[in-house]
Structure 1
Amino acid sequence: MTAIKSNVNYTGIIDEAVERGWEIPDFTMKEIRNAIPSYCFKRNTLRSFYYVFHDLACILILGALSGYINKVPNIYARAALWCIYWLSQSTIWFGIWTLGHELGFVLHSAILTPYYSWRYIHAKHHKNTGHMVREQSHIPTLRSETTLPPRNQDLDPNGSHSIFDESSLATFCVLAYTLVIGYPVYLFTIYTGQKYAGGANCFKPRCSAYKETQYWNVILSTIGVSTTLTIVMYCGYMFGWSTAIKHYVIPYSGCNVWLVLVTYLHHTDPKIPHYRNGVFNFQRGAALTVDRSYGFLVNYFHHHLSDTHVAHHFFSTIPHYHAQEATLHLKKALGRHYLCFDTPIAAALWNNWRACRFVEDEGDVVFYKR
């Protein structure tokens, strides 16, 4: 694994990479693929369904145990137990969402994700990870899209800018809103990703994000989500809206928090750049992905999506139960280009949110600034 050869003239294109000592990798996908044992790519249907039944069993057991919470006489203890219940359920629900990568339509529809629509967009995300135009989530804001002066007129182009200074309370409120509401809004707008002519919508089959041949699958995805919403509303009518909120709406919202958190933290950090066409290729984009650990229990119930996220981006066909072993081989193959940050998750989220505000309009390698 070597950096781009020094005899290639990238002057002016990778100025920021040079300034920050960032080495652009020059490996091939064949080199990376050969480093991972072939059995890591093999799927076992029975084993895959085991994890589905495992998660569903955990969800049902927690649901049954929650029936005893309101019998606890102390109001503060009840409140604490409900919070523990919601945190536990939402964590497992995100595991179900993760399994939807492999087993699909029913699992994703049950958590209000339009399976085929989302899958087509997600495939583009994998192909264009870290690309400044074609990425499907968390494309950085450009300097020209802020109220900052042009770089050549900025007295401190690499420093902190006062327009991004805000109170901790304001930061918290915007961050909380994004974590809870961000994913449903994304499904209706693709607002953080590639700009599509006429806009994009995961429920609009004729928008420019989809091919004509994908029309009916987008329709089917909408039917799946609509069916789940109908069932939830029926259950709310039959068993009470408070029951529906406690056992579906809040866990669903918590699952959304996990989804936005993972998507953001594993592709956004002031230490990693985004690429434009002059530098970008698939493997360089995939190598911009970050592995992070959320602790043993969360990693377990998330089926190790987070601590093996780099492997997931290089080879999305690797089943989750082989991803840890694949990561060990991938780490050796990537060497210094393997990214794994151990900053505590809450601190990483807070710091990155405040530090990653914009990138420059020019250059094929650009880093976040604030």
Structure 2
Amino acid sequence: MGAGGRMLAPPTPSKSESGSLKRVPHSKPPFTLSQIKKAIPPHCFQRSVLHSFSYVVYDFAITSICYYIATNYFHHLPQPLSYLAWPIYWIIQGCVLTGFWVIAHECGHHAFSDYQLLDDIVGLILHSFLLVPYFSWKYSHGRHHSNTGSLERDEVFVPKKKSSIPWYSKYLNNPLGRFVTLAITLTLGWPLYLTFNVSGRPYDRFASHYDPYGPIYTDRQRFQIYISDAGVLAVSYGLYRLAMVKGLMWVICTYGVPLLIVNGFLVLITFLQHTHASLPHYDSTEWDWLRGALATVDRDYGILNKIFHNITDTHVAHHLFSTMPHYHAMEATKAIKPILGDYYQFDDTPVYKAMWREAKECLYVEPDEGGQSKGVFWYNNKL
């Protein structure tokens, strides 16, 4: 297939008789990264300060309106209505703040503007507000993009081989066990990853996103890790002072619960982007950057796709060209589908069903029994 991708229509991802997506081809692709890039309109790689800031302003406006309504009117509502109003606020605010998080994530990829300093300032402010150490995560996430799909070097959601799964896994391989595991993962997974590197790449010593001298970072990056820690500490202190003035419950209701929802969405989105029975993982004998970058799947979150700035349904394009701004990612995705063919994966399974299915089917990875490619690993769940 040529770089121009002259097909009448993008191919529809093929499915097996069971309805699930067929496996992504694990052989070396018949195209190169430069051929994929040539298929994308050049303007998709242009980053506009005004365009990018318009999303910051829009998200900030929605967040401010929600906060204003909640703090000025909810206490006037009769109790039955207030019990309903607060959960609605939490959900809406949590979703919009997830969009804020995505913009900060783009800053870390230098996809916000042509100015690295501006990107870092905006990203530091937005991520610190959400208690995320900006530079710390920027660097570890960059290593994830450099090593996606590698069983030895990927940074997060690295699947375990069958020989490495913990002894208690068989006791959790049931509906109740999966429910408890998912509940803990969605509520505590993000802070546990940042603090203790839970679900992250194993290191030979303690690793934490808050530790400037940890194994995740180089000597040149340490000062910026201190800056990240200072940003999180500053916001934490501000929340403490607010709690002293407004009360702890006020902070929990207006900020804490929406932040919990943000954290849950981050884990869910990342989990579903890189966990699917059709996606391969590679050891050092098979891995290369392009095949690793293609070992991800786009998902459909409905209206949340737009609220999350399409990080959910354009993730394949994002892994190929991470400096591309999100507002061009849909156009780019449409352009690269004809080139990628079966290497492109899109799953429109409802998110709640996909979450449960992946938690059930994707327990560990192993090579196909009797297969020739011993360095290619696929998800399985037979304990």
Shorter-chain TM range is 0.7 to 0.9
Partner of 1:62: 66
- More displaced, 320-329 or 190-199? 190-199
Partner of 2:205: 198
Is residue 2:214 matched to residue 1:210?
no
Partner of 2:158: 139
Partner of 1:229: 236
Structure 1 vs Structure 2 CA RMSD: 2.1
Deviation at 1:74, TM superposition (A): 4.2
CA contact (8 A) 1:292 1:307 kept: yes
Q: Residue 47 of structure 1: which of 46, 51, 59 is its match?
A: 51
CA contact (8 A) 1:143 1:361 kept: no
Distance 1:333 1:234 in 2: 54
Distance 2:169 2:181 in 1: 18
Give the residue type in structure 1 aligned to 2:69: L
CA contact (8 A) 1:136 1:190 kept: no
Distance 2:225 2:309 in 1: 27
CA contact (8 A) 2:189 2:198 kept: no
Q: Residue 353 of structure 2: which of 347, 354, 360 is its match?
A: 347
Normalising by structure 1, what TM-score?
A: 0.87
Deviation at 1:33, TM superposition (A): 1.4
Q: Residue 247 of structure 1: which of 242, 254, 258 is its match?
A: 254
Is residue 2:87 matched to residue 1:98?
no
Give the residue type in structure 2 aligned to 1:114: P
Distance 1:147 1:317 in 2: 38
**Residues 76-102 of structure 1: CA distance to partner in whole angstroms, max 9, x if unpaired?**
x32222111101111011100000022
Gaps of 5+ in 1: 3-18, 149-160
**Residues 215-258 of structure 1: CA distance to partner in whole angstroms, max 9, x if unpaired?**
10011000011111011111111111111001111111100011
Instruction: State the SS of the aligned residue for 1:218.
Output: helix
Distance 2:240 2:169 in 1: 47
Deviation at 1:23, TM superposition (A): 4.3
Structure 2 matches for 1:282-361, cutoff 5 A?
A: 282-296=289-303, 298-360=304-366
Is residue 2:374 matched to residue 1:367?
no
Q: Residue 117 of structure 1: which of 136, 139, 152 is its match?
A: 136
**Residues 308-362 of structure 1: CA distance to partner in whole angstroms, max 9, x if unpaired?**
1111111110001111111111212211111100111000000101111112279
Give the residue type in structure 1 aligned to 2:27: I
Structure 2 matches for 1:168-179, cutoff 5 A?
A: 168-179=175-186
Deviation at 1:21, TM superposition (A): 8.2
Deviation at 1:271, TM superposition (A): 1.9
Structure-2 change in CA distance of 1:177 and 1:310 (3 Å): same
Percent of matched pairs sharing the same residue: 37
